[in-house]
Amino acid sequence: MDRKSYTAELAGLRELRAEITAAEKAVAAAQKELDKLTAQRARRVAGLAGYEGAQAAAVAKASGLSVGDVVRIAPLLDPTPAAVRAAKADDQAAAAPAPVPEAEPVAEPAVAVAPVLARPAPVLEQPAPAVEAPTEVEDQAVAEQPAPATALLVESDVSVAPVAAPVVESGPRELPTLPEGPAGGRFEAVTTGLVSKRPNFVQQARSTVFLDVATGVLAVRDQTVRVDLGARTPGEILDAVLHAAPGTERVYITAGAPWHDGAERYSTLKDAVAAWLNTPSDRWTTAVGSGRDKLAGHFVHQRQPVGRYAPAAAPDSGTTEIRSMGEWFDPDGADVVTCRQAFTLLWQALRRHWDEAVLMGSPSQTGRDLWSRTIPTTGKWAGGYPVLSEELRGLLHATGGQGRTELILPPRVPEQLPALVEYDRTFAYAKHLWKSPVGTPRRITAAAFAAMTEQEQTKALMSCSHWNVRVTVPQGWNHVGLLPAPVTGDRAWVYPSEPGATFTTWAGGAEVHLALSNHLAPWKVEILGGLLFEDGKPLDEWGKRLKSAWADLTNLSKLHGDERQRTAAYLASRAVRSVLLFGLGGFAQRPRLVSGTTPVGEALPAGVEILGQDGEVVTWQRQAGFSRDPYAHPEWAAYVWSGARAALLDMKYRQGKEVIGYAGALHAKPGTVVYFGTDGIALTERQPWPYRGEPGDYLLKGHLTGPVEHPTSQEQYLKLRGLGRAELAAKGTDQ
């Protein structure tokens, strides 16, 4: 071949490449259309199963499928006589060397069993405890091995003899479901005329001072003064502060907690706080509030109350608030000057990322305001993010739990703990803000989910979604529970782990995906319905800026040469955490609690709960339902909380796109997990989990050397946790 022929062949090869590319695109388009039509056919086949007289043979002929294919899509059309199926089940049971009983499914409308999302067992320096030898603890049996990836796509053609399984008792608290018909349309809708828009105004800073009530030291601007607080009532505090610093609009109490004075005279701490907030004064009255961003009345809380007062002689002249520094961070003995410096550093760190950053009264208000200034000005959501319908917000409020709090009791863990080791996820929620649900959700019925391909089902579960599911714990399971189940009482949610237990619940896609893909044993999850959102990034920019501010302050707290500045920077970094944590909680927009007071003897408003009473007034609160809040986005809070709960069980360490390790409760030995606390866990032994100082990493926070009596309550655990933190601080992390 000469050079001319070679050049001609290259030109011909390029033409052929272009033709092949065009043909590949045509094939891909045809395949996409074929997949769409196939899915449509499957949905129609599944829908025909709802007709009582439907026959598999007729459906198969009309659809061009075999009878077997029809039955796999719609098991209700199985023409096999019941007696034959029972005989097959008996034969299979006799032939099987070690049958695994399956809990009998509760009779429900059509459901779809989610596929097992197989994942290889992680490779770590410490072998993963996928199978653990049985111990004397009754519920620690050998874990069931993962089933093949297609094993649970549809119900088996062969019935398995039903076995009575323990069912989690949820009492009268039944979770809502998505209604059928026109009523269900409100659950796929947004509220008309209610959109989260970027603000066109600048927040006004409030004149703020910091007061140590225990010593009477007031930090105002760059100086401190000592003030006489008298009996430390709200009126006397306000008189003293405004005499020393006229024009003050907000007072943060850094130490002394005056609202607990005389608490022993009241049946509850909340009663004591309410009585203190409403201490009679000739000069001050409760502020009624008016205008944008001004709240009315006091907020009664056991440890972080808010008192709002106005001069009795001129109640419209302005409001002064008394608040707790604990809303932002635990001062932990820091003096009032250090607390003020922490606020200054916090403001400076935020101003580097927001030109209009203003510290508002609470971290929640500040977080929401800062987020609103990241709403995009271009692209699909430039006009703002729509607020979901009130019905859908109510559903998410009822079914989207917050952080996992669970004390695991014997015999699932030893009565005598060899040690109590605490791990805390650093700035945990910041790791889960990169993706969030946006727009109007699409309702997914059980039939629609069943009609999806396995690839489509997996994608749906990994997307921003919220699922109504019936769950069965696999036989042989010997570790902690994976999914929340609703119960009555203070706990609201429990995490069943008994093999064979069944329960119905709602859970986010992250948790459902983990239940199906964990490396120990996949759980059986039946999809009853769900909501599938568009994947978006409404919180990503907000989270990146807060993470950057947090990192700056964290580094300053380690490197600054002045000890006071190091402490102040650390406290400021904790305040950034509060801005994110409570800002996210603010999106949940729970039904409002309104508090107020009524003179003794006068009629109380309807539907109130009495919080306390003294000789002058009755303090009460009542639920006021959902407000027309343009920043109400419970779908964001629920999605982040779900991801954080999943990461308590299983978190990946990545280097770029490569997974280099795992952490979380499922990567500890069965029987070693003692406590879950929102973004941390306590175990009976150390774990080889690396700490890089990044959001989400597991930090060793405490180590209490055993033997330790197992705590029987959360209060006992918190005492032991404090001892463990003190011991670790005294001995160092390498003890």
Average pLDDT of each block of 10 consecutive residues along the chain (735 residues)?
A: 78 83 83 78 68 71 77 62 44 41 41 65 38 29 28 27 38 76 84 91 92 96 94 96 95 96 90 92 83 65 93 86 96 95 97 94 94 94 92 90 92 94 95 94 93 92 94 96 86 90 94 94 95 95 96 94 94 97 88 72 77 75 72 94 96 87 95 94 95 93 94 93 94 66
Q: Which pLDDT score is estimated for 355?
A: 92
Domain membership of residue 692 (yes or no) is: yes
Instruction: Indicate the pairing of strand 250-255 with strand 320-324.
Output: parallel
Spatial neighbors of 105 by CB under 8 A, at least 6 apart, are 111, 470, 526
Cα dihedral across residues 272, 277, 282, 283: positive or negative: positive
- What are phi and psi for residue 505, nearest 5 degrees? -155, 180
The CA-atom distances, in angstroms, between 450 and each of 64, 69, 73, 166, 529 are 19, 13, 7, 27, 11
Residue (of 342, 321, 344, 322) closest to 332 by Cα position: 342
Q: Which pLDDT score is estimated for 97?
A: 40
- What are phi and psi for residue 310, nearest 5 degrees? -135, 150
Domain membership of residue 251 (yes or no) is: no
Task: Give me the long-range contacts of 453-456 (CB less than 8 A, separation at least 24).
Answer: 453/35, 453/39, 454/115, 454/149, 454/150, 454/153, 456/39
Q: Which pLDDT score is estimated for 413?
A: 93
Token pair 């069944």 is found at 502
Are the CB atoms for 423 and 677 separated by under 8 Å? Answer: no
**For residue 13, what are the domain limits?**
3-82
Q: What's the structural domain count of the chain?
A: 2
Spatial neighbors of 529 by CB under 8 A, at least 6 apart, are 177, 178, 443, 444, 445, 446, 467, 468
- Tokens representing residue 33 in the block: 């259309």
Q: Which pLDDT score is estimated for 120?
A: 44
pTM: 0.73
Report how far residue 719's alpha carbon sits from residue 94's, in angstroms, rounded to the nearest whole number.
54
Last residue of a domain, one of 33, 50, 82: 82
Domain membership of residue 562 (yes or no) is: no
Strands (E), 318-425: 320-324, 385-388, 405-407, 416-425
Last residue of a domain, one of 54, 82, 110: 82
Q: Which pLDDT score is estimated for 306?
A: 94
What does the DSSP 8-state code read for residue 247?
T
**Greatest alpha-carbon span in the chain:** 111
Domain membership of residue 32 (yes or no) is: yes
Report how far residue 283's alpha carbon sits from residue 236's, in angstroms, rounded to the nearest whole number.
9
Domain membership of residue 235 (yes or no) is: no
Domain membership of residue 586 (yes or no) is: no
Domain membership of residue 636 (yes or no) is: no
Last residue of a domain, one of 29, 51, 82: 82
Q: Which pLDDT score is estimated for 92?
A: 44
Domain membership of residue 694 (yes or no) is: yes
- What are phi and psi for residue 644, nearest 5 degrees? -70, -40
